[in-house]
């Protein structure tokens, strides 16, 4: 330090945007790295979001091959590129994805509101180089798998939900937050069947995750994203409901949902006493009659 120059101490953590710049990642690459657990984050006690510890940034920067190796680990590709990585035609790649043999890591909607699934290039390479998968990459698809495809099986949405659920669970800080994550993948009617108490449902809704941002709420694109986010297979729904019930029991035991304080109904202000009717006072009707008789006889 010289003259009036003041050196500020380096913060122990930084925002996601700052961390992405220091790690030479695009923001989408950074978010996916966090999603996959490649980059560890921590709660931002002041702002309610997430931050990255300075030590975590230094750990990643010290890895051999930084930053190329880190970027390669989060490279996500579509169907055509994925097929090229695996050395198979695009049609075969799509069949493998529908059967759940390769799992999408992200998706987006194109301008025609068609779902574009993205896959990790690293995972596709591992699948293609595993000798036990060789029969799936060439030749005729086994009969048992063809019958599933003919029946319309498509596990891409379900497999993405499972992956996204795992990411959100890792970010949750307690049982109410974990329960909210589970509720986020169920239709509201399914949630109401499990959580009958309206105060608990209201508290739970605070922690429901929002679907990935895809346009303005209420638009056809937003409805499509909500559909992808919501479980639709019976056994998937049953599993989510069971896990929600179990997690809710933990949440209730740790801290019951808040309820409004009970207050007695207000007592109406006291007014003037009711005036008795003339029939309750027999002297009233006779007084006027006696006066009239006196005047008549006087």
Cα torsion through 268, 273, 278, 281, rounded to 10: 130
State how far the Cα of 82 lies from the Cα of 118, in Å rounded to an integer: 8
User: Model confidence over 77-123: pLDDT tens digits?
Assistant: 999 999 999 999 999 999 999 999 999 999 999 989 899 999 999 99
Whose tokens are 């009970």? That residue is 262
Determine contact, residues 32/164, Cβ cutoff 8 Å: no
Does residue 193 share a domain with residue 164? yes
In a domain? residue 214: yes
Which of 137, 153, 169 terminates a domain? The answer is: 153
* Cβ neighbours of 187 (radius 10 Å): 14
State how far the Cα of 34 lies from the Cα of 19, in Å rounded to an integer: 11
Does residue 95 share a domain with residue 28? no
Determine contact, residues 163/123, Cβ cutoff 8 Å: no
Does residue 172 share a domain with residue 234? yes
Does residue 208 share a domain with residue 177? yes
Q: Which domain holds residue 123?
A: 76-153
Does residue 240 share a domain with residue 162? yes
Determine contact, residues 20/32, Cβ cutoff 8 Å: no
Instruction: Flag whether pLDDT at 276 surpasses 90.
Output: no
Higher pLDDT, 154 or 173: 154
Which of 73, 100, 117 terminates a domain? The answer is: 73
Determine contact, residues 50/171, Cβ cutoff 8 Å: yes
Does residue 140 share a domain with residue 177? no
- DSSP reduced 3-state for 120: strand
In a domain? residue 93: yes
Q: What is the pLDDT of residue 176?
A: 96
Long-range CB contacts for residues 56-64, cutoff 8 Å, separation at least 24 = 57/14, 57/19, 57/22, 57/23, 60/23, 61/22, 61/23
Assigned token pair, 187: 């239709």
Does residue 185 share a domain with residue 171? yes
In a domain? residue 115: yes
* Cβ neighbours of 28 (radius 10 Å): 12
User: Model confidence over 158-189: pLDDT tens digits?
Assistant: 999 999 999 999 888 899 999 999 999 999 99
- Assign 43 a pLDDT band (cuts: 50, 70, 90): confident
Does residue 59 share a domain with residue 20? yes
Peptide bond into 77 cis (omega under 30): no
In a domain? residue 273: no
Those residues whose C-beta lies under 8 Å from the C-beta of residue 56, and which sit 6 or more positions away, are: 39, 40, 41
pTM given for the model: 0.81
Which of 55, 73, 91 terminates a domain? The answer is: 73
Does residue 168 share a domain with residue 240? yes
Q: What is the pLDDT of residue 6?
A: 44
Does residue 162 share a domain with residue 242? yes
In a domain? residue 149: yes
Q: Number of structural domains, the chain?
A: 3
In a domain? residue 269: no
Instruction: Flag whether pLDDT at 204 surpasses 70.
Output: yes
Instruction: Flag whether pLDDT at 64 surpasses 60.
Output: yes
In a domain? residue 49: yes
Higher pLDDT, 47 or 143: 143
Average pLDDT, the chain: 87
State how far the Cα of 130 lies from the Cα of 212, in Å rounded to an integer: 32
Instruction: Flag whether pLDDT at 74 surpasses 70.
Output: yes
In a domain? residue 272: no
Does residue 121 share a domain with residue 66? no
């Amino acid at each position: 330090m010289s003259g009036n120059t003041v050196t500020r101490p380096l913060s122990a953590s930084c925002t996601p945007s700052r961390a992405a710049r220091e790690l030479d990642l695009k923001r989408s690459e950074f978010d996916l790295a966090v999603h996959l657990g490649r980059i560890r984050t921590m709660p931002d006690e002041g702002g309610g979001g997430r931050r990255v510890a300075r030590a975590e940034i230094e750990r990643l920067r010290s890895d051999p091959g930084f930053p190329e190796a880190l970027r390669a680990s989060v490279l996500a590709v579509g169907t055509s590129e994925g097929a090229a990585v695996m050395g198979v035609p695009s049609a075969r790649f799509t069949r493998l994805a529908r059967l759940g043999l390769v799992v999408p890591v992200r998706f987006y909607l194109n301008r025609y509101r068609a779902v574009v699934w993205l896959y990790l290039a690293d995972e596709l390479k591992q699948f293609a180089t595993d000798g036990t998968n060789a029969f799936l990459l060439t030749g005729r698809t086994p009969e048992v798998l063809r019958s599933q495809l003919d029946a319309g099986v498509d596990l891409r949405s379900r497999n993405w939900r499972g992956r996204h659920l795992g990411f959100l669970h890792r970010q949750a800080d307690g049982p109410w937050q974990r329960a909210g994550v589970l509720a986020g993948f169920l239709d509201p009617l399914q949630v109401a069947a499990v959580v009958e108490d309206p105060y608990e449902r209201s508290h739970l809704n605070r922690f429901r995750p929002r679907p990935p941002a895809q346009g303005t709420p209420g638009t056809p694109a937003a409805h499509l994203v909500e559909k992808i986010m919501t479980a639709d297979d019976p056994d998937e729904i049953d599993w989510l409901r069971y896990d929600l019930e179990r997690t809710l029991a933990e949440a209730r035991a740790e801290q019951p949902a808040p309820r409004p304080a009970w207050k007695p109904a207000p007592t109406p202000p006291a007014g003037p006493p009711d005036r008795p009717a003339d029939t309750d006072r027999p002297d009233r009707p006779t007084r006027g009659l006696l006066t009239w008789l006196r005047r008549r006889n006087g």
